[in-house]
Chain A
Amino acid sequence: MINIPKKPSASYLVILGIPSAFIFSIFSFLRIGFNLQDFKDNLANRAIVTEPLFNPKWKWAWENTSEALLETVQIAILASIIGCACALPLAFYASRATNLNKYSYFIYKSFLNLVRTIPDLFWAMLFTVAVGIGPFAGVLALIMFSLAIMGKLLSETIDSIDPGPMEAAKATGASHNQTVFTSALPQVLPNFTAYFLYIFELCIRASIILGLVGAGGVGRIIETQRIFLRFDRISPIIVIILVVVILIEQFSVWIRKRIL
């Protein structure tokens, strides 16, 4: 007879967590007003959208979007470069490995977390009110967006660097700043480049919708057509955007492979 060991009892997380997650899901679905009958009725009207959506007006889209699309790409380039450049020093202050002061570490870390909690489109709304409608507001919004992501990713990378080179630098009598510059920075630079390209892709995607709140880019054209329900004009714009996004992503993947 084989002695089968007793199965350990389930933890509280499983006993309480799974049922409560289940109940919360049902509650959420009730609160968002999900109603199968209404959904079926509404689905009968789908022709309003689907018919124009699948009869795209290519010529119109091609003539009207190219300029705004260029603006979108420029917003993403500028914002990701400035945002990541600002995040580089911040990430060193927001990491336990390179910031020895407990209090300033906490302040920088919470600052990055705070910036991260506000969604990109909220930043865009705030900046359009502050500096006026136009691509400048979009650039500022995406700077905050890329600053937050880069700050988080890079500071976590710095947390897990190899402490050996830093100790070696310290043993030669280097000051703290010299230690960070000569032994912590070179260790994370390859990651920084990879993250930068990743954030650039995210910025391209994010900058498409910035125009919906008046922060420049191709979203501006989508918004004006959306209000008039001109889905025959929107669908080719979306397809063009997708092609551009995929091309840029492929380019960025290619660069990443070459650099790393």
Chain B
Amino acid sequence: MNIPNQPINQKIFKYSITFMIILASVWSAAGLEITMDRILDAPRQIATLIGAMFPLDLSQEAFERIIPKVFESLFIAWAGTVIGAVFSFPISFLAAQNVAIGFVSRLTKQILNAIRAFPELILAFVFLPITGLGPFTGTLAVGIHSIGTLGKLSSEVIEGIDEGPLEAIKSSGGSKINELTFGVIPQVMPTITSYWLYRFEINLRASAVLGVVGAGGVGQELINQLRFRDFPRAGTVLICTIVLVLAADTISAAIRNRIIKGKIVKN
């Protein structure tokens, strides 16, 4: 059988990409002083750490300290998402090309990009001296970062709408405001709501981490236990976090699924 050969320039492209990837990783590994024996030793060290966590610290006192912190993370994430949703919703209309005029849309998009560029953790420690140690700082950081990301996602949803209903409203004599409330919002609401929930899932992970700089949440507890070498309790903190995140993810994913795909009607 005559199998056609792969074109030669495609082959060159393939091999040069592979070569570049290998070169980049070797260069990085050399720069970071990662030697072979460190890599080979790592699994043993990780196993030692995991071994030190068991049996978990399941005492009453541990739970009394950990559970409020875990829930604090949940509240930070939810409140941050609410801030993000409330502020990003009107902003996303300003950022959408097909709703706002060109200049406003471009300017708003750039502002959103700038907000999005700062990680939550950096926002958190900049706010820390102003708003003090505690969950409120974390909420502000999470909320402001969410405005940036949700604003971008929502404005892209608005840009992707079907123009038909807008024309129908226009031809029946509707105003610009009517177009937004009856034409745009009903079309974009399901997707935007599911993005809010999706952002909540991400914010939950972010808020768990914020405790590292003292902005509330479960991260503070984990870093303290690891510093004091109290590994069984650190293990408990980890397990509690995993359970919370898994539960929140599952519920949120189910609701998102229901919103996007609609109710399953059984015949």
Q: Which residues of A are interface residues toward B (Cβ below 8 A)? A: 11, 13, 17, 24-25, 27-29, 31-34, 39, 42-43, 45-46, 48-49, 53, 70-71, 73-75, 77-78, 81-82, 113-114, 117-122, 125-127, 129-131, 135-136, 139-140, 205, 208-209, 212-213, 216, 222, 226, 229, 231, 234, 238, 242, 245-246
Contacts and interface: CB of A to CB of B under 8 A. Distances in A.
A28 B75 contact: yes
B101 to A, nearest CB: 26
Contacts of B16: none
Nearest to B247: A117
Interface string B193-215: 00000000000011011001100
Contacts of A75: 28, 32
Main secondary structure on A side of the interface with B: helix
Contacts of B168: none
B129 interface: yes
A140 B119 CA distance: 21
Contacts of A205: 119
Interface stretch (B1-9, B55-63, B219-227): B219-227
Main secondary structure on B side of the interface with A: helix
A45 B129 contact: yes
Given A31-B72, A43-B130, A212-B212, A121 B28 contact: no
B28 A246 contact: no
B139 A131 contact: no
Given A32-B216, A71-B31, A118-B241, 16 more contacts: A13-B259, A28-B74, A31-B135, A34-B139, A74-B31, A75-B28, A77-B25, A117-B205, A117-B242, A130-B42, A131-B45, A139-B32, A140-B42, A209-B121, A242-B117, A246-B117
B134 A74 contact: no
Nearest to B122: A238
Interface residues of B, number: 63
Contacts of A27: 75
Contact of B130 (A42, A119, A140): A42
11 contacts: A25-B79, A29-B82, A74-B31, A78-B29, A118-B238, A119-B209, A121-B212, A131-B41, A135-B34, A209-B122, A238-B122
A34 B136 contact: yes
Interface in B155-195: none
A212 B213 contact: yes
Nearest to A84: B21
A142 to B, nearest CB: 11
A129 B258 CA distance: 42
A80 B267 CA distance: 47
A39 to B, nearest CB: 7
Top 9 closest A-B pairs, CB basis? A74-B28, A78-B28, A28-B75, A32-B135, A130-B49, A28-B79, A119-B205, A121-B209, A117-B245
Interface of B: 21, 24-25, 27-29, 31-34, 38, 41-42, 45-46, 48-49, 71-72, 74-76, 78-79, 82, 117-119, 121-122, 125-127, 129-132, 134-136, 138-139, 205-206, 208-209, 212-213, 216, 219, 222-223, 226, 238, 241-242, 245-246, 249, 255, 258-259, 263
A30 to B, nearest CB: 9
Given A31-B72, A48-B129, A129-B226, A139 B117 contact: no
B32 A74 contact: yes
A13 B255 contact: yes
A33 B46 contact: no
A131 B42 contact: yes
B32 A78 contact: yes
Contacts of A28: 74-76, 78-79, 82
A8 B97 CA distance: 33
Given A17-B255, A49-B129, A242-B117, A81 B25 contact: yes
Contacts of A119: 205-206, 208-209
Contacts of A39: 131, 136
B118 A238 contact: yes
Contacts of B46: 127, 130-131
B197 to A, nearest CB: 10
Contacts of A78: 25, 28-29, 32, 34
B263 A11 contact: yes
A227 to B, nearest CB: 10
Contacts of B21: 81
Pick from A17, A77, A216, A238 the residue with the most CB of B within 10 Å.
Answer: A77
Contacts of A209: 119, 121-122
A51 to B, nearest CB: 11
B222 A118 contact: no
Contact of B213 (A43, A226, A234): A226
B27 A74 contact: yes
A83 to B, nearest CB: 11
A136 B28 CA distance: 11
